[in-house]
Amino acid sequence: MTNKPERELIIIGAGPAGMTAAVYAARKQLDTLVLTKDIGGQALWSSDIENYLGFTFITGADLVRRFEEHVRSFAVSVEYAAVAKVSRNGDIFEVLTEDNRRFFSRALIVSSGKSPRMLGVPGEKEFAGRGVTYCATCDAPLFTGKNVAVVGGGNSGLDAAVQLMRICPRVYLIEVADRLRGDEAIQDRVRRAENVTILTGTTVKEIRGNNFVRSVVVQDIRTNEISELEVEGVFVEIGLSPNSGFVKELVKLNKWGEIPVDCGARTSIPGLFAAGDVTDVPQKQIICAAGDGAKAALGAYSYLVRVPVPTDWLKSQ
């Protein structure tokens, strides 16, 4: 099925914000296309969700499945693609995908979320999927019986270390700051484990290997001493960065690369709305993202009603 490229509204991203926006847009009968790499966004990675209203407990995968069912109950078009660039000609947005397809709309909601931040060291890209991983939940069991390194001493790094210390002979936990940053309770569990070596004040310089990772080179930032740890897995858990590169020439991003929005999910560009973790809204929560998605869709609806349709728009239909 090919989706027609001209729409009233395009939503980029199908996490909680984008999917909620899609439901609101569908109920307003806006002709909407969702352009996304996947369904679920970061919500998919949550193993336990206990604060989304209506569910005392649900997994990320289950909540996402329900969101998707809800979206699919409406006639919403979904196209799987990564977005390369968004530009604006007059009142029309043009969305170029990485596979060089073009889509057009009168209003646009960016709800593209965040992606795992990369270390940016030699060997990282080369060994991605060959020992370097950004999804401990997915890949931890594949490293049973192997020595591994976890980079990042925040909660996600600690969670990864806890999963891995049960199945790996040695786990190195590497943190650049002089202390771990995650919750005290998890820190205690990691500290008590005999097979976890905590290396604070330490940075990763390089990831080495042949076909697969064989070692990670680290440096003690106090003494500058370099050492090489023999590991077959490197779990990178150093936070997330916003997927906003494709609008950076259109909107001024904040210093973290997030899209500034007002209380109505509006950006500085008329007709361009943003919602969820890609925005500067500080609360990175599923329920907040969903609420922001609703605001963005309602905002886009009012905008579309108010702004006249360009005379040469949709002549073909």
Partner 1 sequence: MPARNIIVYSTPTCPYCIQVKEYLKSKNVPFTDYNVATDIQARNEMVQKSGQLGVPVIDVDGQIVVGFNRNKLDQLLS
User: Footprint of partner 1 on this chain (CB under 8 A)?
Assistant: 38-40, 44-45, 47, 60-61, 64-65, 80-81, 129-131, 133, 135, 137-142, 144, 211-212
| Cβ proximity to partner 1, 48 vs 312, nearer residue | 48
* Shortest distance, position 130 Cβ to partner 1, whole Å: 5
Question: For 206-211, which contacts have Cβ atoms below 8 Å and span 24 or more sequence positions?
Answer: 206/121, 206/122, 206/123, 207/121, 207/122, 207/123, 207/124, 207/126, 207/127, 207/131, 207/132, 207/234, 208/123, 209/123, 209/127, 209/130, 209/131, 211/130
Catalytic-residue membership of 292: no
Tell me how far, at minimum, the Cβ of 82 lies from partner 1, in Å: 11
168 annotated active-site: no
**11 or 64, CB closer to partner 1?**
64
Are 165 and 195 a contacting pair, CB within 8 Å?
yes
Closest CB 35 distance from partner 1, rounded Å: 12
Residue 31 among the catalytic residues: no
The structure tokens 């969820």 sit at 276
Residue 103 beta carbon to partner 1: minimum distance, rounded to whole angstroms: 15
Distances (CA, A) of 102 to 13, 35, 46, 95, 167: 16, 11, 33, 6, 47
Closer residue to partner 1 (CB): 45 or 313: 45
Per annotation, catalytic residue among 62, 138, 188, 262: 138
Closest to partner 1 by CB, 71 vs 259, is: 71
Please identify every residue annotated as catalytic. Answer: 135, 138-139
